[in-house]
Chain A
Amino acid sequence: AQSVTQPDIHITVSEGASLELRCNYSYGATPYLFWYVQSPGQGLQLLLKYFSGDTLVQGIKGFEAEFKRSQSSFNLRKPSVHWSDAAEYFCAVGGYQKVTFGTGTKLQVIP
């Protein structure tokens, strides 16, 4: 069965600092991987996706993620966090029929 683990429930970073959100997955074949962001009171917005090819993928809002097959990981990174990045972030893995979401990581940004 496919699964996603986001080990950090809550992360606090200072504005301007770098960010890395962790995601580990379990999937039987080559995974399709996604990162979504959810601002308060809103739905999920796609940040980036990985299907194949270059293992470092660029997304919107200055985010990137690196697929590491040997570690079953797809960590999200940003070199310099802005106050507007405060939100909840979800990693997801899946294929054609079903996508499984992680439990999310809430990001707090302090001035």
Chain B
Amino acid sequence: DVKVTQSSRYLVKRTGEKVFLECVQDMDHENMFWYRQDPGLGLRLIYFSYDVKMKEKGDIPEGYSVSREKKERFSLILESASTNQTSMYLCASRTDRTGDYIQPQHFGDGTRLSIL
């Protein structure tokens, strides 16, 4: 089974801090994703990465950056945390298209981040 591991289940940080959320997958997947999940808004895509050192903005990239130096690891960075970034953050990975089909994403358990 695919395992997507997020380094922290719960995290509390202060306004203005630089925050790192880490995600590791063990299946050699090419694609990785960061979402935030808020009640009533579903999942919104922050950034995604097709491959090492490649990244693309999602729907809500403002205030975030990402890093993918190794294939298995995809980091989300809050450059200067603000209270409106308090949320649940979900990481996902997916293999590239195989045959004619697009493969589904596999999710980690999430990091609940509180910014005080």
- Asked if chains A and B come from one complex, the reply is yes
A41, A42, A96: the one contacting B102 at CB < 8 Å is A96
The CB with the most chain A CB atoms within 10 A, among B35, B42, B92, is that of B42
- Interface positions, chain A 32-75, Cβ under 8 Å from B, are 32, 34, 36, 41-46, 49, 51-52
Question: A45 — which chain B residues lie within 8 A by C-beta?
Answer: 107
Name the interface size band of chain B: 20 to 34
B42, B102, B104, B105: the one contacting A102 at CB < 8 Å is B42
Q: In chain A, what residue has the closest Cβ to B44? A: A101
* Minimum C-beta distance from A38 to chain B (A): 8
* Minimum C-beta distance from A51 to chain B (A): 5
Tell me if A49 and B109 are in contact (CB < 8 A): no
* With contact pairs A90-B43, A101-B43 given, residues A96 and B107 touching in the complex (Cβ less than 8 Å): no
Question: A101 — which chain B residues lie within 8 A by C-beta?
Answer: 35, 42-43
- Give the total of A residues in contact with B, Cβ under 8 Å: 24
Question: A41 — which chain B residues lie within 8 A by C-beta?
Answer: 9, 109-110
Interface: A11 (CB within 8 A) = no
- Interface positions, chain B 30-77, Cβ under 8 Å from A, are 35, 40-43, 45, 48, 56, 58
| Chain B residues within 8 Å of A, Cβ to Cβ | 4, 9, 35, 40-43, 45, 48, 56, 58, 90, 92, 97, 100-102, 104-110
What are 6 A-B contacts defined by CB distance under 8 Å? A9-B40, A41-B110, A43-B107, A94-B102, A96-B97, A99-B105
Closest 10 CB pairs of A and B: A43-B107, A103-B42, A101-B43, A44-B107, A43-B109, A101-B42, A46-B104, A32-B102, A51-B101, A43-B108
